[in-house]
Amino acid sequence: MSDWPHDPDGEEGSEGRRKYGQAIIAKKIDEDEDFPLDRDEFVEEHADEPIRIDYETVVSVEDVFEAVDQATFEDFPDFHKTVGQAMRDEGYWPYELEHA
């Protein structure tokens, strides 16, 4: 395991492995106060914080945001949709939906 600034499975991380991926990122945002949100400022503030992807994979916020091209997010749904797509594109989404 990498040397994280706090335990990825502790209360500051993935809450004892109860939260994964985008749920952990979402907890870092105050929907009422943080928008519009600047990607670079967000990454600078949280870059080395751990994001548990699945039971055996932990990456940094910076790793996740390497695939996010959008510079500014107007609101939480915009942020959630864009970051979620980037996570899927990079293989950081452990469950894939099958489309009929």
Query: What pLDDT score was predicted for residue 44?
Result: 96
Three-state SS sequence of the chain? CCCCCCCCCCCCCCCCCCCCCHHHHHCCCCCCCCCCEEHHHHHHHHCCCEEEEECCEEEEHHHHHCCCCCCEECCHHHHHHHHHHHHHHCCCCCCCCCCC
Predicted TM-score (pTM) of this structure: 0.76
Write out pLDDT tens, residues 21-35. Answer: 788 888 899 888 999
Task: For residue range 9-66, list pLDDT tens digits in order.
Answer: 666 666 666 666 788 888 899 888 999 999 999 999 999 998 888 778 889 999 999 9
